[in-house]
Structure 1
Amino acid sequence: MKIEIWSDYVCPFCYIGKRHLEEALHQFPERDQVEIAFKSFELDPNAPVDTDMSIQEILSKKYGTSLEQAKNMTDSMTKQAATVGLDFRFDTSIPTNTFDAHRLTNYAKTKGKETELTEILLHAHFTLSKHIGDKETLVRLAEQAGLDAEESQAVLEGDEFTQDVRADEEEARQIGVQGVPFFVINRKYAISGAQPSDVFLSSIQKVWEEENQTDSLQPLGTDGMACDENGCDVPPSKS
Structure 2
Amino acid sequence: MLIEMWTDYACPFCYIGKRRLEEAIKQVEHKVEVVYRCFELEPAAERDISDTIYEKLAKKYGMSLEQAKLNCNNMEDMARESGLDYQFDTMKLTNTFDAHRLTMYAKTHGLMNEMAERILHAFFTESKHIGDTSTLTDLAVEVGLNREKVTNLLNSDEMTDDVRSDEQEAQELGIQGVPFFLINRKYAISGAQPTETFIGAINQINEQDGPFISMNDEKGATCTDDSCEV
In the superposition, the TM-score normalised over structure 2's length comes to 0.93
Structure 2 residue identity aligned to 1:161: M
Instruction: Tell me how far 1:10 sits from its aligned partner.
Output: 1.1
- State the match for 2:25 in structure 1: 25
State the distance in 1 between where 2:89 and 2:221 align.
21
Given candidates 37, 40, 64, the residue that maps to 2:38 is: 40
Instruction: Tell me how far 1:232 sits from its aligned partner.
Output: 1.1
- State the match for 1:7 in structure 2: 7
State the distance in 2 between where 1:152 and 1:189 align.
35
Residues 34 and 234 from structure 1, CA distance in 2 versus in 1: closer, same or farther, beyond 3 angstroms? closer
- State the match for 1:159 in structure 2: 157
1:230 aligns with 2:221: yes
Structure 2 residue runs without a partner (length 5+): 211-219
Structure 2 residue identity aligned to 1:211: D
Instruction: Tell me how far 1:230 sits from its aligned partner.
Output: 3.2
Structure 2 residue identity aligned to 1:201: I
- Residue correspondence of structure 1 range 85-96 to structure 2 within 5 A: 85-96=83-94
Instruction: Tell me how far 1:233 sits from its aligned partner.
Output: 1.3
Structure 1 stretches of 4+ with a deviation exceeding 6 A read none
Instruction: Tell me how far 1:152 sits from its aligned partner.
Output: 0.5
State the distance in 1 between where 2:70 and 2:13 align.
16
**In percent, how many aligned pairs have the same letter?**
54
Instruction: Tell me how far 1:159 sits from its aligned partner.
Output: 0.1
- Residue correspondence of structure 1 range 134-153 to structure 2 within 5 A: 134-153=132-151
SS of corresponding position for 2:66? helix
Query: What is the aligned length?
Result: 217
State the distance in 2 between where 1:94 and 1:19 align.
22
Instruction: Tell me how far 1:234 sits from its aligned partner.
Output: 3.8
SS of corresponding position for 2:98? helix
State the distance in 1 between where 2:104 and 2:176 align.
22
SS of corresponding position for 2:90? coil
- The root-mean-square deviation of aligned C-alpha atoms, in Å, is 1.0
- Per-residue Cα deviation, 1:90-117 (whole angstroms, up to 9, x for no partner): 0000000000000000000000000000
Structure 2 residue identity aligned to 1:6: W
SS of corresponding position for 2:177? coil
In the superposition, the TM-score normalised over structure 1's length comes to 0.89
For CA contacts below 8 A with separation 6 or more, give which structure has more relative contact order. Answer: 2
Structure 1 residue identity aligned to 2:20: H
- State the match for 2:124 in structure 1: 126
Structure 1 residue runs without a partner (length 5+): 213-228
- Per-residue Cα deviation, 1:166-195 (whole angstroms, up to 9, x for no partner): 000010011111100000010010000000
8 Å Cα contact 1:77-1:234 kept in structure 2: no
8 Å Cα contact 1:42-1:98 kept in structure 2: yes
- State the match for 1:52 in structure 2: 50
State the distance in 2 between where 1:73 and 1:233 align.
10
Given candidates 77, 80, 87, the residue that maps to 1:79 is: 77
SS of corresponding position for 2:174? coil
Structure 1 residue identity aligned to 2:122: A
